[in-house]
Amino acid sequence: MDRNGDNDSLNDNILNGISGDSVLENMGEAILIIDPKFRIVYFNKRAENITGFNRGEALGKHCYEILRLYNCNNGCPVQNMINTGESFVDYCSELISKDELPIPVAIRFSILKNPGRSLSGGIIAIRDMPTKYRFSDSLKSAYSFQGIISKNKRILEIFEILPDISRTDASLLIQGESGTGKELFANAVHNLSLRQKNPLIKVNCAALPETLLESEFFGYVKGAFTDAKKDKLGRFQLADGGTIFLDEIGDISPSLQVKLLRAVQDKQFVPLGGTKTVKVDVRVISATNRNLEHLVKEGQFRQDLYYRLNVIKLELPNLRERPEDIPLLVDHFITRFNQRDQRNIERISPDTMEILLQYEYPGNVRELENILEHAFILCKGNIILKEHLPSYTIGIAGELEKIETRSDLMNQVETNTILSTLKKHNWNKIKTSEELGIHRSTLWRKLKRMGTCNLA
């Protein structure tokens, strides 16, 4: 069997015994039978439903032309089976239907051999899977924009308008919980803009105390304060011609809000200790995981500054609201970590995916990324399993399991320590309890629990 040749006639043996009203025809699974040249010789009704192609279109075509699985171009499973001599494989993927939609599917391949034991073809059985099992593969590029991965409707809408948003110079405010990708979106807007060749300067407004932050924003002139030995440019000036990204904007103090208002509104400011106004041409993008509107209502954030920053607003949904992204992101991070660490992890098992789909993700995409990072360390094979996940993702049962193992481990360490100290002191319990810093009666109790009373 070889994908490249296509002159052989269809192998009639394969179809022996399969008639129009056969069991195969009415099965709930899509069934495709292929000849040794990967051409479809049988295609049941369910296959028509799932793929959208009718029998007339499919028969005689190569299976990879009709199924268009990610793996068709990237380690064809049938070819792998032939190469490895396996007769059966079972896995999950996505096929692309006739109208170009990704359909998550579970697939079984088996090899057909004729009585002489040579290959006569293969059977491909396909079940479409519930949407919660959307294992991603092939459509990564369709759901990826500037390195941001999503198939969520709201985010796809943002992808649509992002080029337009990027072309304007209007201030942009990005709101979203921690780890939802605010910085990724800020990068994307800059990269898509005409300012892209000029700098994108970031300032984390929560990371610096107020006085330092002011000089970070606007710079200072020599002699402005004791340590100001020479002029220093502020981030607004460094961003001239480009974009300034004010991260964690909800955290700046009221007095700095006033100064920032002028810079954002008039694109001009006076460096610390200076007398001359500096004019800059910057686009302002700000981000926060706090609700600025609430802060305005509570009087903690200036309304005028809020309006200036919020000419355009992007609100990023958290990961709990878009579980459909979880398999895509899992796939994305697996690919990234494989490249980074020279690993060869293929996928995660279905029950592991089930856990990831149910987890709440207070830390959103960053947390999912960390969970997979953890799994990569523990996974020694090429499929990530439940036990490779941090136990907190598994819920209370997982926590208890963890505590149990930890306390087992602690007991073991304690037992070893007690025994070696006893040995060192020739089984003298007074010296042992002194060295261990515990009372003799405590040592006695512990020895009893350890089942070593005879030593005590």
Ligand X SMILES: Nc1ncnc2c1ncn2[C@@H]1O[C@H](COP(=O)(O)OP(=O)(O)OP(=O)(O)O)[C@@H](O)[C@H]1O
**Which residues make up the interface to ligand X (CB under 6 A)?**
148-150, 176, 178-184, 289, 329, 332, 365-366, 369
The 375-414 site mask, x for binding Mg ion (CB under 5 A), equals ----------------------------------------
Cα 110 from Cα 115, distance rounded (Å) = 16
> Which of Mg ion, ligand X, none sits in contact with 314, Cβ below 5 to 8 A by type?
none
**From 146-154, 180-188, 194-202, 238-246, span contacting Mg ion (CB under 5 A):** 180-188
CB 358 within 8 A of CB 364: no
Cα 8 from Cα 1, distance rounded (Å) = 11
Least Å distance, CB 326 to ligand X, is 11
Q: How many residues bind Mg ion (CB under 5 A)?
A: 2
Least Å distance, CB 92 to ligand X, is 21
> Which of ligand X, Mg ion, none sits in contact with 365, Cβ below 5 to 8 A by type?
ligand X
Least Å distance, CB 198 to ligand X, is 21
> Which of ligand X, Mg ion, none sits in contact with 324, Cβ below 5 to 8 A by type?
none
Residue 240 interacts with Mg ion (CB under 5 A): yes or no = no
Residues of 102-134 as b/e, b for ≥16 C-beta within 10 angstroms?
Answer: bbbbbbebbbbeeeeeebbbbbbbbebbeeebb
> Which of ligand X, Mg ion, none sits in contact with 369, Cβ below 5 to 8 A by type?
ligand X
Residue among 48, 183, 231, 373 that touches Mg ion (CB under 5 A) = 183
Residue 366 interacts with Mg ion (CB under 5 A): yes or no = no
Least Å distance, CB 339 to Mg ion, is 23
3 state DSSP class of 315: strand
> Which of Mg ion, ligand X, none sits in contact with 165, Cβ below 5 to 8 A by type?
none
Long-range CB pairs of 18-27, under 8 A, 24+ apart, other chains included:
18/42
Least Å distance, CB 366 to ligand X, is 4
Cα 306 from Cα 258, distance rounded (Å) = 11
Cα 135 from Cα 145, distance rounded (Å) = 19
- Give one word for 13, left, alpha or beta, with left for phi > 0 and alpha for psi -120 to 50: alpha
Least Å distance, CB 176 to ligand X, is 5
What is the DSSP code string of 129-194? --GGG----GGGTTTEETTEE---HHHHHHHHHHHHHHHS---EEEE--TTSSHHHHHHHHHHHST
Task: Give the end-to-end CA distance of the chain in Å, rounded to a whole number.
Answer: 74
Cα 261 from Cα 304, distance rounded (Å) = 8
3 state DSSP class of 268: strand
**From 91-99, 174-182, 334-342, 386-394, span contacting Mg ion (CB under 5 A):** 174-182
Cα 348 from Cα 393, distance rounded (Å) = 15
Least Å distance, CB 32 to Mg ion, is 47
CB nearer to ligand X: pick between 338 and 415: 338
Least Å distance, CB 364 to Mg ion, is 11
> Which of ligand X, Mg ion, none sits in contact with 148, Cβ below 5 to 8 A by type?
ligand X
Residues that bind Mg ion (CB under 5 A): 182-183
